[in-house]
């Protein structure tokens, strides 16, 4: 059964006033945290672009069928986590992930038949009605890629290499990579029979969830976290023994690429992933500081999905990174990297009026700039400059006006320098741009 949240209900004024707070699992993101998000988003665009992917933006709402067919009827997402609106005739859902939407677009635009090879990237909010907890939200952000139209193991390897590069560029360290192959339909059928046979007489010793999954989605039993279930699954034969020769060669080739590229990974024969579309390669990057929800990025190959969603058969592979979790473990940005622009601290009316014009001039030159609108004291204005993450405070008072100078304080290290007032906008804009470029270069090289 699908959880249905109908939109056509009536809300009284009283109810609206009572619930003037965020629903559980949703959050506002603002300064100073937003700096990290912008840094992450800029990095995602730069890294995906540099590997030759083109951006695709699909709508936040799709026909519910896109996800039911795409993700699988017996997955947690489709069974109980989708936000669905509408009625019997037309039902739409907030997207719980990006892959099914990308495939819908690929098929709808005829790319499965004509320009078949495509490399897409996407980024944005996803929605799952899960029980909120640390690292698990109802609105969360993913950045992902999909490589469509190739069965080659080099594409699996590229997706993993790119995933690792993305995490590194996002200042994430200490993550681990787990890899498995779930085989093609043929191998899965063979292994399904093994699981049915091996587990059929042990159902009484398993948890309720596993007993249910035995009937609906037997592979998902393997990633159950319950101790009593784990002990039984440890005794099961390895899925890798049941791979057909094609799947075995593919899996070995992917591993060889990873060895060649010195990408460290561990094989985890219980890794099956929570979405039904995977075939052959599956992988997850985990981070030890995240607790129970420790997967920062997950992906794999899904060679049957395009056909299952009504297109011409096309092999595909991809991943999605969870930006909320990545930001939680991302190394702190250095103070200087977090800071941007100039806050004009003025003392006295004459300086304020002059400063007001200078701020507009700085903005015309592309510099983030602002000034006080609350008649705050000098000290309080300096605090605002710091709290709002400006890189420089430019101080202009009677003294400075008399000497025709303007004084700059670097908010990261407190150092101070005076510049001639005339023509400073052009000079400082140039310096700031150079500093930004230098920081970007340093980040790319590090």
Q: How far is the CB of 321 from ligand HAM (least distance, A)?
A: 6
3-state secondary structure of 236: coil
List the beta strands (DSSP E) in 221-267.
Answer: 266-267
Q: 183, 153, 128, 155: which is closest to 52 by C-alpha?
A: 155
299 binds ligand HAM, rule: CB under 6 A:
yes
271 binds ligand HAM, rule: CB under 6 A:
no
Q: What six digits make up the tokens of 86?
A: 């509408």
Work out which of 297, 315, 371, 395 binds ligand HAM, going by CB under 6 A: 297
Q: How far is the CB of 110 from ligand HAM (least distance, A)?
A: 21
Candidate ranges 16-24, 93-101, 355-363, 414-422; the one touching ligand HAM (CB under 6 A): 93-101
137 binds ligand HAM, rule: CB under 6 A:
yes
Candidate ranges 10-18, 133-141, 173-181, 255-263; the one touching ligand HAM (CB under 6 A): 133-141
Candidate ranges 13-21, 175-183, 312-320, 427-435; the one touching ligand HAM (CB under 6 A): 312-320
Q: How far is the CB of 77 from ligand HAM (least distance, A)?
A: 7
Beta pairing partners, 111? none
Buried b (16+ CB within 10 A) or exposed e, 263-301: bebeebbbbbbbbbbbbbbbbbbbbeebeebbbbbbbbb
SS (H, E, C) 267-327: ECCCCCCCCCCCCCEEEEEECHHHCCCCEEEEEEECCCHHHHCCCCCCCEEEEEEEHHHHH
Burial of 161 (0-12, 13-18, 19+ CB in 10 A): middle
128 binds ligand HAM, rule: CB under 6 A:
yes
Work out which of 217, 281, 295, 429 binds ligand HAM, going by CB under 6 A: 295
72 binds ligand HAM, rule: CB under 6 A:
no
Q: How far is the CB of 421 from ligand HAM (least distance, A)?
A: 50
Q: How far is the CB of 103 from ligand HAM (least distance, A)?
A: 10
338 binds ligand HAM, rule: CB under 6 A:
no
318 binds ligand HAM, rule: CB under 6 A:
yes
At residue 324, what are phi and psi to the nearest 5 degrees?
-60, -45
Helices 153-169 and 245-260 pack at an angle, to 10 degrees, of: 40
Work out which of 98, 183, 341, 397 binds ligand HAM, going by CB under 6 A: 98
Hey, CA dihedral for 281, 287, 288, 294, is it positive or negative? negative
397 binds ligand HAM, rule: CB under 6 A:
no
Q: What six digits make up the tokens of 130?
A: 């899960």
Max CA separation in the chain (angstroms): 92
Work out which of 124, 125, 151, 274 binds ligand HAM, going by CB under 6 A: 274
First to last CA, the chain: 49
Candidate ranges 134-142, 206-214, 252-260, 329-337; the one touching ligand HAM (CB under 6 A): 134-142
- Which residue, 278 or 343, has its beta carbon nearer to ligand HAM? 278
136 binds ligand HAM, rule: CB under 6 A:
yes
- Which residue, 318 or 341, has its beta carbon nearer to ligand HAM? 318
Instruction: Evaluate whether 148 touches 293 at the Cβ level (below 8 Å).
Output: no
Instruction: Evaluate whether 207 touches 228 at the Cβ level (below 8 Å).
Output: yes
With CB atoms as reference, the residue minimizing the distance to ligand HAM is 322
CA-to-CA dists, residue 76 to 16, 59, 66, 110, 255, angstroms: 31, 22, 16, 30, 30
Q: How far is the CB of 142 from ligand HAM (least distance, A)?
A: 5
Mark 180-219 with x for binding to ligand HAM (rule: CB under 6 A) and - for no binding: ----------------------------------------
Burial of 45 (0-12, 13-18, 19+ CB in 10 A): middle
Task: Spell out the residues 6+ positions from residue 203 whose beta carbon is closer than 8 angstroms to its own.
Answer: 210, 211, 214
Instruction: Evaluate whether 369 touches 344 at the Cβ level (below 8 Å).
Output: yes
Applying CB under 6 A, the site for ligand HAM has a residue count of: 26
140 binds ligand HAM, rule: CB under 6 A:
yes
Q: How far is the CB of 162 from ligand HAM (least distance, A)?
A: 12
- Which residue, 155 or 425, has its beta carbon nearer to ligand HAM? 155
3-state secondary structure of 309: coil
Q: How far is the CB of 204 from ligand HAM (least distance, A)?
A: 31
List the beta strands (DSSP E) in 210-280.
Answer: 266-267
Per CB under 6 A, residues contacting ligand HAM are 97-99, 128, 130, 135-137, 140, 142, 144, 146, 274-275, 295-300, 318-320, 322, 324-325
């Amino acid at each position: 059964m699908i959880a249905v949240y109908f939109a056509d209900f009536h809300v009284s004024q009283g109810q609206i006033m009572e619930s003037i707070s965020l629903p559980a699992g949703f959050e506002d993101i603002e300064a100073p945290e937003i700096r990290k998000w912008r840094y992450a988003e800029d990095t995602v665009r730069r890294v995906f672009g540099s590997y030759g992917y083109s951006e695709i933006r699909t709508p936040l709402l799709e026909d519910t069928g896109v996800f039911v067919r795409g993700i699988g009827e017996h997955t947690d997402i489709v069974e109980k986590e989708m936000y669905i609106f509408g009625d019997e005739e037309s039902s739409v859902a907030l997207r719980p992930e990006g892959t099914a939407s990308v495939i819908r677009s690929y098929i709808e635009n005829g790319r499965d038949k004509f320009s078949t090879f495509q490399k897409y990237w996407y980024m944005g909010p996803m929605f799952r009605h899960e029980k909120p907890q640390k690292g698990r939200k109802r609105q969360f952000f993913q950045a992902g890629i999909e490589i469509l139209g190739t069965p080659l193991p080099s594409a699996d390897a590229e997706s993993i290499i790119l995933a690792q590069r993305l995490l590194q560029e996002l200042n994430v360290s200490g993550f681990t990579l787990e890899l498995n192959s779930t085989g093609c339909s043929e191998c899965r059928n063979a292994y399904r029979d093994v699981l049915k046979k091996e587990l059929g007489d042990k159902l009484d010793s398993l948890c309720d969830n596993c007993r249910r999954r035995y009937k609906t989605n037997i592979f998902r039993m393997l990633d159950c976290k319950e101790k009593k279930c784990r002990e039984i699954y440890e005794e099961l034969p390895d899925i890798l023994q049941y791979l057909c020769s094609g799947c075995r060669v593919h899996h070995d080739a992917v591993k060889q690429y990873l060895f060649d590229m010195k990408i460290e990974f561990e094989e985890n024969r219980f890794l099956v992933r929570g979405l039904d579309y995977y075939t052959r390669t599956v992988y997850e990057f985990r981070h030890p500081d995240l607790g129970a929800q420790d997967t920062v990025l997950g992906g794999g190959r899904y060679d049957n999905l395009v056909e299952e969603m009504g297109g011409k058969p096309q092999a595909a592979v991809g991943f999605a990174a969870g930006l909320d979790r990545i930001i939680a473990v991302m190394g702190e940005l250095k103070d200087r990297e977090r800071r941007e622009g100039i806050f004009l601290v003025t003392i006295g009316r004459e300086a304020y009026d002059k400063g007001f014009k200078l701020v507009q001039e700085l903005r015309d030159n592309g510099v983030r700039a602002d000034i006080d609108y609350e008649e705050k004291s000098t000290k309080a204005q300096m605090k605002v400059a710091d709290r709002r993450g400006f890189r420089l405070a430019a101080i202009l008072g009677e003294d400075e006006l008399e000497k025709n100078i303007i004084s700059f304080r670097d908010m990261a290290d407190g150092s101070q320098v005076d510049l001639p007032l005339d023509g400073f906008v052009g000079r400082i804009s140039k310096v700031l741009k150079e500093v930004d470029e230098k920081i970007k270069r340093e980040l790319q090289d590090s």
